[in-house]
Chain A
């Protein structure tokens, strides 16, 4: 394979079209938990992430940086704005958040999260709310526990991509059950983003080697001793994993990637 062919082999190609915006970076970075707008800017730059995730908290329980403050630090217009309902702990709250984001800021691309009290995705309610939001014209990226039937149900609703939980959010545990993730990747025709529990570059490389279309990280960068170094590490890890996936590795380590390559 020539270098040119290598460069266009899937590392830098658009992999997801959201509202006419083509994503080429497969590293999606959440920006919760930061206390410094400057650090958010630097992390986004170091990661190469093309998206900017925003939300409101109608339940009024969660602190996060104000967009008013980030606006002074970041060229917000350079990013694809994606709304999230990650603060929502009920379907009604997720819908309410989605409606506020669209009505106030014109955001109709939604990272849909409906989590239970233990901060784990509530698959059943997520599917119910995804159906409502799809009918209302939103582009939806739902977050679920790995379950093939649920993943296919969301695919049938016309979701843009699926976000599959590898391990509890913010746990840093990596991908303890790769076969469950791999089953989703192989079983749907949508881009699968692996998210939750990815704490270091090794976890991200593994997800990409398994055939994930992308990964989403947040706490892994915030809680790293050096967030900018970890952002750069994650960026390199995504590319390494993607290339290794395309290269198709020699036999011997199938278990790590959840089965036969």
Chain B
């Protein structure tokens, strides 16, 4: 499945400044692994060492929070859009 991933501003250094990148996979976890193969370091900012989603990072598939579905095992379809939305320091 080919999906479009929206990259948060704080991760842009991993994608050479690209805000939207294409990635492939059947689940969110697979998409993140694929993303990491071309944009090294992104996955570890989203996923814990044990493979779970980090506490202060949300991931949405077509605007639906994956925590309300199967978390990183949530299935994706061709053309889906994925948003990574981390909590950040505020002022």
User: B-contacting residues of A (Cβ < 8 Å)?
Assistant: 30-34, 40, 53-58, 60-68, 70-71, 82-84, 86-87, 100-101, 103-105, 111, 218-219
A56 to chain B: which residues have CB within 8 Å? 58, 85-88
- Most central of B6, B55, B56, B90 by chain A CB within 10 Å: B90
Name A66's contact: one of B19, B56, B65 (CB within 8 Å). B56
Which bracket fits the contact residues of B?
A: 20 to 34
Q: A60-B9, A104-B58 are in contact. Are A54 and B87 (CB under 8 A)?
A: yes
Does B91 lie within 8 Å of A31, measured CB to CB? Answer: yes
Report chain B residues within 8 Å CB of A67: 56, 86-89
27 contacts between A and B (CB under 8 A): A30-B90, A31-B90, A53-B91, A54-B87, A54-B89, A56-B85, A56-B87, A56-B88, A62-B9, A64-B10, A66-B10, A66-B45, A66-B86, A66-B88, A67-B86, A68-B45, A68-B55, A68-B57, A68-B87, A87-B90, A100-B85, A101-B87, A103-B65, A104-B87, A105-B56, A105-B87, A219-B91
The interface residues of chain B lying within 8 Å CB-to-CB of A87 are 90
Q: Give CA–CA (A103, B65) in the complex, Å.
A: 10
Task: List B contacts of A103 (CB < 8 A).
Answer: 65
CB distance from B80 to the nearest CB of A (A): 18
CB nearest to B9 among chain A residues: A63
| Contacting pair B55 A54 (CB below 8 A) | no
Q: Which residues of B contact A64 (CB under 8 A)?
A: 10, 88-90
Q: 16 other contacts beyond A56-B87, A60-B8, A83-B90, with CB at 8 A cut-off? A: A54-B89, A57-B8, A57-B9, A60-B19, A66-B10, A66-B57, A66-B86, A66-B87, A67-B87, A67-B88, A68-B45, A68-B57, A71-B56, A100-B85, A103-B65, A104-B87
Chain B residues with a Cβ under 8 A of chain A? 6, 8-10, 12, 19, 45, 54-58, 65, 67, 85-91
Q: Report the minimal beta-carbon distance from B46 to chain A, rounded to whole angstroms.
A: 9
B85 CB contacts on chain A under 8 angstroms: 56-58, 100
A96 to chain B, nearest CB (A): 10
Q: CB within 8 A of B90: which of A54, A58, A63, A219?
A: A54
Residues of B near A100 (CB, < 8 A) are 58, 85
B90 contacts A32, CB within 8 Å?
A: yes
Give A231 Cβ to nearest chain B Cβ, in Å: 14
Complex alpha-carbon distance, A61 and B8, angstroms: 8
**Nearest 3 CB-CB pairings of A with B:** A30-B91, A32-B91, A55-B90
Q: Which of A71, A105, A218 contacts B91 (CB 8 A)?
A: A218
Give the CA-CA distance A87 to B89 in the complex, in Å. Answer: 11
A27 to chain B, nearest CB (A): 14
